[in-house]
């Protein structure tokens, strides 16, 4: 295990403990940001904790997080942070929120950690070393037929938008089971073989950076609605390798 991964695991754990101090608190103050998304004191304090830990250990590294301005890198390394992915779940006392820490090196995300403090589940991966949950190896499923697949999603628009011919959107009708187990939790269900496809139609870099190396190292694939693997694309789709390859072929063929 690299020192970078050890640092990410430690900070995600410590930030997770901090969030639990606010979790299910009835008096939790919720503010609305310019993009209409919610934010709490727990979001900001958790990100500050992670930022301080990273800059103390690696002052030349960059930092990109959801709640504060970017700190630019001087060495080609950038940490990408989402202190609470699934803030709406967090606010409502639903345990499917995660603390996410990723490390990007020269444009490639090499380390990803997702901690679900209320579920006591910690996922991690670094390039070439496999994917793990609570220290045990995980892998995607081998289900190939959409009628046998579980598809999970975050935004209600996935179900409510007008009928689309996009291969990912067709799954809402074709899949055997479609459920709204969203945000980072849905993508970790794919990585651990408990779902076949996870769909987010709207994503920012901090929403997906930590997810991609974990799904990839678990044997799956991640891409956006254009079929590109990027943290700055049009949404994010995680899939097991069999279904992912088929979806990518269909996207390349124009649906």
pLDDT tens digits for range 70-114: 999 999 999 999 999 999 999 999 999 999 999 999 999 999 999
List the domains of the chain with CATH numbers: 3-137 (3.30.540.10), 146-252 (3.40.190.80)
State the pLDDT at residue 146. Answer: 96
- The answer to whether 44 and 67 are in contact (CB under 8 A) is yes
List of residues 6+ apart from 6 with CB closer than 8 A: none
pLDDT tens for each residue of 8-62: 999 999 999 999 999 977 778 888 877 778 888 999 999 999 999 999 999 999 9
**Whole-angstrom distance, CA of residue 94 vs CA of residue 117:** 11
* Mean pLDDT calculated for residue range 168-191: 96
Q: What is the mean pLDDT of residues 121-137?
A: 98
C-alpha span between 167 and 45 (Å, rounded): 40
The confidence score (pLDDT) of residue 255 equals: 62
Span 116-125, mean pLDDT? 98
Of 188, 157, 159, give the one whose Cα is nearest residue 172: 159
With a cut of 70, say whether residue 123 has pLDDT above it: yes
Decide if pLDDT at 160 tops 80.
yes
């Amino acid at each position: 295990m690299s020192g970078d991964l050890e640092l990410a695991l430690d900070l995600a754990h410590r930030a997770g403990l901090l969030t639990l101090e606010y979790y299910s608190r009835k008096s939790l103050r919720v503010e609305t940001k310019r993009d209409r998304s919610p934010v709490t004191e727990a979001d900001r304090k958790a990100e500050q904790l992670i930022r301080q830990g990273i800059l103390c250990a690696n002052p030349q590294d960059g930092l990109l997080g959801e709640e504060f301005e970017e700190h630019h890198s001087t060495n080609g390394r950038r940490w990408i942070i989402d202190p609470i992915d699934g803030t709406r779940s967090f606010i409502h006392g639903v345990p499917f929120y995660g603390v996410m820490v990723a490390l990007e090196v020269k444009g490639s995300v090499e380390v990803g950690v997702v901690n679900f403090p209320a579920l006591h589940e910690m996922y991690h991966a670094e390039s070439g070393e496999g994917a793990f949950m609570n220290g045990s190896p995980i892998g995607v499923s081998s289900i190939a037929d959409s009628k046998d697949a579980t598809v999970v999603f975050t935004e209600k628009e996935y179900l409510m938008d007008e009928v689309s011919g996009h291969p990912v959107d067709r799954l809402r009708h074709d899949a055997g089971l479609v459920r709204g187990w969203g945000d980072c939790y849905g993508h970790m269900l794919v990585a651990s073989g408990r779902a076949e496809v996870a769909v987010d139609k709207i994503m920012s870099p901090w929403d997906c950076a930590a997810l991609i190396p974990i799904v990839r190292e678990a044997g799956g694939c991640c891409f956006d609605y254009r079929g590109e693997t990027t943290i700055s694309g049009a949404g994010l789709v995680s899939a097991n390798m069999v279904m992912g390859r088929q979806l990518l072929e269909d996207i390349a063929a124009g649906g």
